[in-house]
Amino acid sequence: MTENQRQSPVQFSVPALDAEERDRWPVVLEYADEGEGPDLVDLSHLTRWDLQDRDLQQFRPGGVVVPERPGSCAFGNGVLVNRMNRTQASIWHLNPGEPPGPPSESALTDVTEATVFLALFGPGVFSIGEKLTALDLSRPEPKPPFLIQGPFSRVPCQIVVLERSGETDGGLLFTCSRGYAADMVDSVLSAGREFGLRPAGEKAFLRWLSSVFPETE
């Protein structure tokens, strides 16, 4: 084990078929018995920042302009920027590889190791979501991606609807405090059991992401 190794709060009870270490994170690329979806992927190793400032428009994280309206999201260069309120935005780096350097601006806080980060995507995703939250994840407007803040499996979360294709199919990204990871994963897998939900590795997420945003290939 690498000295000072970082550890995801998520531990799936299925064996990994392919894994690597990246920036001291053990990253599972593929799990045994992955199906055709829906999939639940642990992305806790991907860098996430919290941005707080009175003038968010002056920032260009990854070259992406911070959206003006709360609940709006912008994606580019592998970076997803979510406007939370008047003075706060979250920044999620969705591409693997060499992580970005530590934030130099005093307005930025690295929250990667303080939170859990999960992707839920594939057929039946919104049906699964209906079992876990009263939030309207499948509403026809606005057009994805958009941010919803509220309880998911009774836990305060940031949830981004990244894709919606039909009434039940699509994809969500969500994050919450690290301490809720085990209970969150158990409840999501339980809710998704009837739909064939299974843990999947980072490769499955990247395939799906590139189908939503072809420029990420």
Tally the domains of the chain.
2
- Non-local CB neighbours of 106 within 8 Å, separated by 6+ positions: none
Say whether both 146 and 210 belong to one domain: yes
Last residue of one domain, picked from the residues 110, 137, 156: 110
Per-residue DSSP letter, 178: G
Q: Residue 123 and residue 130: Cα distance in Å, rounded?
A: 14
Last residue of one domain, picked from the residues 110, 133, 160: 110
The verdict on residue 3 lying in a domain is no
The strand ranges marked E within 139-206 are 146-152, 155-165, 169-177, 198-200
The verdict on residue 1 lying in a domain is no
Say whether both 82 and 161 belong to one domain: no
Considering the entire predicted model, what is its pTM?
Answer: 0.93
The verdict on residue 73 lying in a domain is yes
Instruction: Walk along the chain (217 residues) and give the pLDDT tens digit of each residue.
Output: 456 788 899 999 999 999 999 888 999 999 988 888 899 999 999 999 999 999 998 989 888 999 999 999 999 999 999 999 999 999 999 988 776 776 777 899 999 999 999 999 999 999 999 999 999 998 878 899 999 999 999 999 999 999 998 778 999 999 999 999 999 999 999 999 999 999 999 999 999 999 998 866 5
Q: List the one residue out of 37, 14, 38, 216 whose CA is nearest residue 28.
A: 14
CATH number of the domain bearing residue 119: 3.30.1360.120
